[in-house]
């Protein structure tokens, strides 16, 4: 039986750069709300006689990424033509970089399966995106297919790793860290549809390598790799050979299916792009400042706010979340703010598929303040947060939490005020009382839960638990 040390994973990640215009022409990249084929010109359509002109901002963004990922920038890099036929590639070739990429040999450190881990990055290069096929009625069932060239020429950066990853979880962590780094650099917007696409190369030690193409979500990468590891190990256990091939991931079914046989590099007949001069951009590097990156911000949060490593990692793993937390920490106790943001708010946002940028900061600050002051119990505070987020999702104007608590009489009550409720719960739950007397601790938790339910969370479980236990131990209320 293979272990995770037998799994070998390398990634090729295509990221859309946040430029205003395409890589080789002046067409706008902001086309999402416009009709198909409305942002095209002779260059991105590949018409005869059209000459590409390099977008300096795309090169600058590529160099910014190279610097952040510790890559070396060669004296000279060069674009090439990658020749292949496909309906969304009207030129019959893609302009990319081949044997002379923009930058080589860097690394990104992640939290691996066995602690801090360095993942080597082989190269990064610039290339243009092809167009997009639209299968009316769905792939496989469409009566016809349309081609939209709005995406043709969108600038991409391809980041290629060494096969240093050993599990789907490590691959997911690498992608999360990479996305955060690119967003901190201001060159990438992970919220854009199709902004990140991954080709994953995976093999079991001693067997052939399989490439899973065009995975478009972070969860999809983890699922595709998990399926492929299981499939390949199953073949090996049955004495069958793993074929070297390209496969596609069907996210809805969670499976990979065979595609075409893998082309070799010679099939693409690469040759230098004759219409673009080689790039000599090493002099630019000194002029490109780097912002504070995720690891540096994590360390600063720990030193400045006194929060734990786990909280700091979570909060800095997403630029928008980090900015939200830092603004919240300026208004309330930073440690309490970290607990609320990382442990509670983030889960509620994920449940609603809601961005943190939609959360009203002053409302959360008010909630954290009254929770920290003990004005409400933790349970009520969470319920108030849920009501707040639900109001935002519904498009309503949310009530300030302190006002909401007062309006619905949800303030925390003194434990002694709940004596009657405690007696009522003990009387109504004889079986649980008997279980507790028999030494079953969960029965006491059940009774506490019943009191919480009757008081709508206004009773503090830490305060009423000993009262319930004392009532039963002394025979009061039974």
Mean pLDDT comparison of 265-269, 306-310, 414-418, highest-scoring range: 306-310
Q: What percent of the chain is predicted at pLDDT more than 70?
A: 96
Q: What is the DSSP string of 130-187?
A: --EEEETT-TTT-S-EEEE-TTTT-EEEEEEE-S-B-SHHHHHHHHHHHHHHHHHHTS
Q: Are residues 129 and 226 in the same domain?
A: yes
Give the residue from 230, 253, 287 where a domain finishes.
287
Is the confidence at residue 248, as pLDDT, over 70? yes
Name the nearest CA neighbour of 130 among 160, 151, 107: 151
Q: Are residues 73 and 151 in the same domain?
A: yes
State the pLDDT confidence band at 416, using cuts at 50, 70 and 90. confident
Q: Are residues 321 and 401 in the same domain?
A: yes
* CATH number of the domain bearing residue 419: 1.10.10.410
Q: Are residues 302 and 377 in the same domain?
A: yes
Q: Are residues 20 and 162 in the same domain?
A: yes
Give the mean pLDDT of 227-242. 94
Domain membership flag for residue 374: yes
The domain total for the chain is: 3
Give the mean pLDDT of 17-40. 94
Give the residue from 251, 270, 287 where a domain finishes.
287
Strand locations in 20-64 (E)? none
Q: Are residues 362 and 451 in the same domain?
A: no
Residues 6+ apart with CB under 8 A from 329: 305, 337, 338
34 CB neighbour count, 10 Å cutoff:
11
pLDDT of residue 476: 62
pLDDT of residue 276: 96
**Range with lowest mean pLDDT among 100-109, 139-148, 400-409:** 139-148
- Cα(26)–Cα(6) distance, integer angstroms: 48
- Cα(380)–Cα(411) distance, integer angstroms: 8
Task: Name the residue range of residue 21's domain.
Answer: 7-287
Q: What is the DSSP string of 171-228?
A: HHHHHHHHHHHHHHHTS--TTSTTSEEEEEEEEETTS--EEEEEE-SHHHHHHHHHHH
Name the nearest CA neighbour of 134 among 149, 123, 114: 149
Mean pLDDT, rounded, of the chain: 91
Give the residue from 354, 377, 408 where a domain finishes.
408
- Cα(421)–Cα(451) distance, integer angstroms: 7
Determine the straight-line distance between the first and last CA of the chain, rounded to whole angstroms: 58
Domain membership flag for residue 329: yes
* Cβ contact 471:426 at 8 Å: yes
Would residue 387 be called left, alpha or beta, if left means φ above 0 and alpha means ψ between -120 and 50 degrees? alpha
Is the C-alpha dihedral spanning 339, 342, 345, 351 positive or negative?
Answer: negative
pLDDT of residue 214: 86
CA dist list (Å): 460 to 176, 407, 412, 413, 433: 38, 20, 7, 8, 20
Query: Whose structure tokens read 């360095």?
Result: 118
pLDDT of residue 2: 43
309 CB neighbour count, 10 Å cutoff:
11
| Beta strands 155-161; 7-16: pairing state | antiparallel
Is the confidence at residue 281, as pLDDT, over 80? yes
Domain membership flag for residue 2: no
Domain membership flag for residue 132: yes
- Cα(360)–Cα(214) distance, integer angstroms: 36
Query: Whose structure tokens read 């009262």?
Result: 467
Q: What percent of the chain is predicted at pLDDT more than 90?
A: 68
Domain membership flag for residue 170: yes
Residues 6+ apart with CB under 8 A from 443: 432, 433, 435, 436
pLDDT of residue 477: 54
Is the confidence at residue 413, as pLDDT, over 80? no
DSSP summary character for residue 20: S
pLDDT of residue 1: 42
Q: Are residues 465 and 318 in the same domain?
A: no
* Cβ contact 468:451 at 8 Å: yes
SS (H, E, C) 334-348: HHHHHHHHHHHHHHH
Give the mean pLDDT of 39-56. 94
Q: What is the longest distance spanned by two Cα atoms in the chain?
A: 96
pLDDT of residue 459: 81
Q: Are residues 189 and 327 in the same domain?
A: no
Cβ-in-10-Å burial (0-12, 13-18, 19+) of 276 comes to middle
Instruction: List, for residues 329-387, the tens digit of each pLDDT value.
Output: 999 999 999 999 999 999 999 999 999 999 999 999 999 999 999 889 888 999 999 99
Domain membership flag for residue 302: yes
Domain membership flag for residue 149: yes
CA dihedral 211, 214, 219, 220 (to 10 degrees): -70
How far, in whole angstroms, is CA 93 from its chain's centroid?
32
- Cα(310)–Cα(339) distance, integer angstroms: 10
DSSP summary character for residue 14: E
Is the confidence at residue 129, as pLDDT, over 80? yes
Q: Are residues 89 and 14 in the same domain?
A: yes
Q: Are residues 334 and 280 in the same domain?
A: no
Q: What share of the chain is helix, strand, coil (3-state, %, to 5)?
A: 45, 20, 40
- Cα(221)–Cα(169) distance, integer angstroms: 9
Q: Are residues 182 and 197 in the same domain?
A: yes
State the pLDDT confidence band at 193, using cuts at 50, 70 and 90. confident
Query: Whose structure tokens read 């969108």?
Result: 154
Q: Are residues 331 and 283 in the same domain?
A: no
């Amino acid at each position: 039986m293979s272990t995770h040390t037998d799994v070998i994973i390398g990634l090729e990640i295509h990221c859309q750069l946040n430029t205003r215009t395409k890589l080789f022409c002046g067409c706008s990249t902001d086309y999402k709300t416009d009709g198909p084929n409305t942002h095209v010109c002779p260059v991105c359509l590949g018409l005869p006689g059209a000459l590409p002109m390099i977008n300096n901002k795309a090169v600058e963004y590529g160099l910014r990424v190279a610097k952040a990922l510790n890559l070396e920038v060669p004296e000279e890099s060069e674009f090439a033509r990658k020749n292949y036929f496909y309906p969304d590639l009207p030129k019959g070739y893609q302009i990319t970089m081949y044997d002379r990429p923009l930058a080589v040999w860097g690394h990104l450190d992640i939290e691996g399966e066995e602690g801090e881990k360095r993942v080597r990055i082989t190269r990064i290069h610039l290339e243009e995106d092809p167009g997009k096929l639209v299968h009316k009625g769905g792939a496989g069932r469409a009566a016809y297919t349309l081609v939209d060239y709005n995406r043709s020429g969108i600038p991409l950066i391809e980041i290629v790793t060494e096969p240093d990853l050993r599990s789907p979880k490590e691959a997911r962590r690498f992608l999360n860290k990479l996305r955060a780094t690119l967003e901190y650099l201001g060159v990438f917007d992970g919220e854009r549809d199709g902004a990140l696409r991954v080709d994953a190369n995976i093999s079991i030690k001693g067997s052939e390598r399989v490439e899973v193409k065009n995975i478009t979500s972070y969860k999809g990468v983890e699922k595709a790799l998990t399926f492929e590891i299981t499939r390949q190990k199953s073949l090996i256990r049955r004495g069958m050979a793993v074929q070297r091939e390209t496969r596609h991931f069907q996210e809805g079914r969670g499976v990979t299916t065979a595609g075409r046989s893998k082309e070799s590099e010679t099939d693409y007949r690469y040759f230098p792009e004759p219409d673009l001069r080689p790039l000599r951009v090493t002099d630019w590097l000194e002029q490109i400042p780097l912002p504070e990156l995720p690891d540096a911000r994590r360390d600063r949060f720990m030193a400045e706010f006194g929060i734990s490593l786990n909280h700091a990692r979570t909060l800095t793993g997403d630029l928008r979340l980090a900015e939200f937390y830092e603004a919240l920490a300026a208004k309330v106790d930073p440690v309490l703010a970290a607990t609320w943001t990382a442990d509670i708010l983030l889960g509620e946002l994920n449940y609603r598929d809601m961005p943190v940028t939609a959360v009203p900061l002053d409302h959360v600050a008010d909630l954290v303040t009254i929770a920290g002051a003990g004005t409400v119990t933790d349970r009520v505070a969470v319920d108030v947060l849920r009501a707040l987020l639900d109001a935002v999702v519904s498009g309503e104007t949310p009530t300030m939490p302190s006002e909401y608590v007062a309006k619905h009489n949800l303030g925390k009550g003194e434990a002694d005020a709940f004596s009657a409720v405690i007696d009522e719960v003990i009387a109504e739950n004889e079986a649980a009382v008997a279980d507790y007397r028999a030494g079953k601790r969960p029965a006491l938790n059940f009774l506490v839960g019943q009191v919480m339910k009757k008081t709508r969370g206004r009773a503090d479980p830490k305060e009423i638990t000993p009262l319930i236990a004392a009532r039963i131990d002394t025979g009061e209320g039974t």
